[in-house]
Amino acid sequence: MNSKIIVKNLVKKFGDREVLKNISFDVKEKEIFVLMGGSGSGKSTTIKHIIGLLKPTKGEIIIDGIDITKLPEKELIEFRKKMGYLFQEGALFDSLKVWENVGFYFLENTDMPVKEIYKLAQEKLSLVGLKGIEELYPSELSGGMRKRVSLARAISTNPEIILYDEPTSGLDPVTSAMIDNLIVNLRNSLGVTSIVVTHDLDSAFGIGDRIAMIHKGKIYAIGTPEEIRKNPDPIVQQFINRKAEGPITEELFKELKSEKLQK
């Protein structure tokens, strides 16, 4: 199977702090690739590079044979149409109705008739299991429903790649399982390539074709869920067995604070 995305020797520094330390991995076409790790590990920073929200200090990000790190801003914006992005907090516009949120790209960037945008929003909402809520506002929805509306928006442009940043964060187990099922169903029905960033072990092992374990800006292991479970690396085993590394030291506190500020 061909590689859709290749991340090669990726380094990112914020001032003197090196957040990503020579990361390399590839994602196959139509694969669900999970980037797993704890808070402050560099997961979200990595996918922000893949969608072009951050520029690397060093390294390459090759998508469909094109190194997007070298694209001018205008070409990068155009290239980004291939990708849908599900933000960790959903990032819906509270002042807009659900259908306007889903069709936001078309309302802002095209001359598509409003009736067609409305119909498109209905179709995408149906794909994520939401019907009849087009006229509601985000404040009228549950957390799980808001996540699904965000997902409908992410697939509104028929992307080839979807990036999920902590898609089950803050959700109850039943709703988390629903989101996981949606990720798999969208891959199967739309043929999209997916990267899922998570610290949720149940989600990672439940939906991932392959998993990369990242810790303190380094990749410690890549493999199938079964290969990750059997990986002897102590950092990997420590994480998947949910063992704490020890008390929160001043160094760890700074790391966690830095990661929070980067989001």
- Structural domains in the chain, CATH included, are 3-41+58-262 (3.40.50.300)
Parallel, antiparallel, or unpaired for β 32-36 and 193-198?
A: parallel
- Predicted local confidence at residue 116, as pLDDT: 95
- Predicted local confidence at residue 95, as pLDDT: 93
Element housing 185 (H / E): helix 173-190
pLDDT in tens, the chain (263 residues): 689 999 999 999 999 999 999 999 999 999 999 999 888 888 989 999 999 989 999 999 999 999 999 999 889 988 988 998 887 666 789 999 999 999 998 998 889 999 999 999 999 999 888 888 999 999 999 888 888 898 899 889 889 999 998 888 888 888 888 889 989 988 998 899 999 999 889 899 999 999 999 999 999 999 999 999 999 998 898 888 875 444 444 554 454 455 455 44
- Predicted local confidence at residue 242, as pLDDT: 72
* CA distances (Å), origin 63, targets 56, 67, 126, 248, 260: 15, 6, 29, 38, 28
Say how far apart CA 4 and CA 144 lie, in whole Å: 30
Say how far apart CA 160 and CA 30 lie, in whole Å: 9
- Predicted local confidence at residue 252, as pLDDT: 44
CB 101 within 8 A of CB 90: no
SS3 51: coil
pTM of the model: 0.84
Report the Cα 92 to chain-centroid distance in Å: 16
- Predicted local confidence at residue 69, as pLDDT: 94
CB 161 within 8 A of CB 83: yes
